[in-house]
Amino acid sequence: MSTQLMNGATMLLECLVREGVECIFGYPGGVTLPFYDALYDHPIRHVLVRHEENAAFAAEGYARATGKVGVCCATSGPGATNLVTGLVDAMMDSIPIVALTGQVSTKLIGSDAFQEADTFGITRSCTKHNYLVKKLEDLPAVVHEAFYVAASGRPGPVLVDIPKDVFQGKGHYQPVGAIHLPGYKVFTEGHAGQIRRAAQMIWESKKPMVYAGGGIIAANASEELREFVELTDFPAVNTLMGLGALPAEHPNFISMPGMHGSYAANMGMYNADLLIALGVRFDDRVTGRLAAFAPHAKIIHVDIDPAEIGKIRQPDLPIVGDVKRVLQKLNKLLAELKPELEPMYAAARREWRNEIQSWKEQYPLAPVYSDTEIKPQHLVAEIDRLSGGRAIVCADVGQHQMWAAQLVRFNEPRLWINSGGLGAMGFGLPSAIGAQFARPDKLVFALVGDGGFQMSIPELATIAAYGLPVKIVVLNNGYLGMVRQWQELFYNNRLSSVTLDCFPEAEKLAGAYGFKGRTVEKPHELRAAMEECVNEPGPYLLNVKVSPYENVYPMVPAGGAINEMVMGPPQPVSA
């Protein structure tokens, strides 16, 4: 059963339709001309961004907001190399995207042809897998394989490099049967014996802590996590990538742990006797100095990627599997064992909960306000108020990202979109574009710093052209704030190349693109300005001038132990 004769470009679109793709973020060029010609009257929507890097970020935003595979497209040479940052970002955060790149004709490959680059070689290390399609008949199998690899197991980016003559060649679309990847192993179920042992360990713990991360969100296992937490009544932290995995307003939720995590979360991790690590990778920003990380704890580590087990911290009980399936089975066992085992250490765990509660009360994560200037935390608190735990917030990278992670509530998964592992500045705005296309029903904030915003200003055109109602909120402190904070704290306040002068006037800038913008700097104006921003039916650029020297606290200095947090700036000594 084959379809009519078509060229490679149309065949590619046929594959994309069968994969359920509705929307591609891309930028055309010489060798992708046949593909763009086929797209001209095709129902798949192509979103024209203004830079290929942002196509990759937008595809990530789409994928992060939905869990579906995001698709981006670029031409050969510079188009493909511009995708690289987005690919690495997707790799670090395990985000399923498929990147389609054009390549010079097969006969020209290796001849230093115009706009030729070794895309396959360049992207080898920044993709989960990549392909160079040299024959048209391979195209359908490769594309379907690419989507399968991107979305299955531990998700990640996959790149398919397609030469121009493959786009132009004529052939029939042959439906692809089962995908044959003899070397691709996905372990989903989890070892039954290990799960049984885990259940035992869980009920035998006195100071347990659930350490849940991006894996919960990737596996759509939020419900199972909530069930686990409610069944056991254990306290839980969500990592930066896991925010929203457990609703922020859930009584068992503590906050984010790590370098800028809360006192309660870090002290909880440090003093725990059992860490239940679910879809996390013991990132250095979470663990601090490894030797002093959760030194008294036994570790149960559930991850779909066997290479994560023992990569950083050797677990006492590893379970390789899909955290959703593992939690389903574990919850069932825990419920069975509960009547018998729960009472054993219930009193100790109650005491533990009280201890955590007292840490929470001692050092709460609370916004800071001032009468004279807008504190950045004040702005973030405003976003939280208007979101009510339901809006999508796409952050850039830096101080604002940390304040948002601390103070904005996320009551659902896939609301908090940020570049966690790579920390790629310029991510916020384009990812918001992708998220808004994916979720037109949602209020989408692009919360960006004045540094990251200026990396992605070209995308204002995309936002204007598609009339996307993205709320761009610039937390403008006039500095590369996080770098400035480190220069202040660790480099004797020698502020080297971190001052961002000449920020454009928001009203004029947005006006130049045909939408509304405004700058606020007075605390009492902020509330109304934020409401105006949110109530505007179209896009809005709100530039908020905040106090320039605010630092993010609590802070675990690099290489420090997580129980040795710096809670705030040094206080003046009273006489």
Partner 1 sequence: MLQTIALLMENKPGALLRVTGLLSARGYNIESLTVARTIDPQLSRMTIVVDVDATLRAQVIKQMNKLINVLQATDVTDAPSICRELLLLRVRAQQESRTAILKEAEIFGGRVVDSSTEGFVIEVTGEGEKLDEFVDVMRSYGDIEVVRSGATAMPLGSKKLKLQPPVPTRAELARV
CB of 131 to partner 1, least distance (A): 9
Which residue, 181 or 558, is less far from partner 1 as judged by CB? 181
User: Would you say 90 and 69 are in contact if contact means Cβ atoms under 8 Å apart?
Assistant: no
Which residue, 320 or 552, is less far from partner 1 as judged by CB? 320
End-to-end CA distance of the chain: 88
**CA–CA gap between residue 49 and residue 26 (Å, rounded):** 6
Which residue, 14 or 303, is less far from partner 1 as judged by CB? 303
298-332 as b/e: b if 16+ CB within 10 A: bbbbbbbbeebbeebbebebbbbbbbbbbbbbbbe
Which residue, 179 or 192, is less far from partner 1 as judged by CB? 179
Which residue, 188 or 328, is less far from partner 1 as judged by CB? 188
Task: Name the site residues for partner 1 (rule: CB under 8 A).
Answer: 120-121, 124-125, 128-130, 132, 149, 181-185, 305-307, 309-311
The answer for residues whose C-beta is within 8 angstroms of residue 437's C-beta and 6 or more apart is 23, 47, 58, 62, 466, 468
According to DSSP, residue 557 is labeled -
**Residue 371 to residues 293, 473, 547, 551, Cα–Cα distance (Å):** 40, 21, 11, 18
CB of 120 to partner 1, least distance (A): 6
Which residue, 153 or 449, is less far from partner 1 as judged by CB? 153
**CA–CA gap between residue 285 and residue 340 (Å, rounded):** 38
User: Nearest 5°: phi and psi at 271?
Assistant: -95, -5
CB of 183 to partner 1, least distance (A): 4
**CA–CA gap between residue 387 and residue 317 (Å, rounded):** 39
CB of 9 to partner 1, least distance (A): 23
CB of 292 to partner 1, least distance (A): 19
CB of 278 to partner 1, least distance (A): 19
Give the active site residues: 52, 114-115, 164, 482
**CA–CA gap between residue 98 and residue 159 (Å, rounded):** 6
According to DSSP, residue 559 is labeled T
Distance from chain centroid for Cα 133: 30
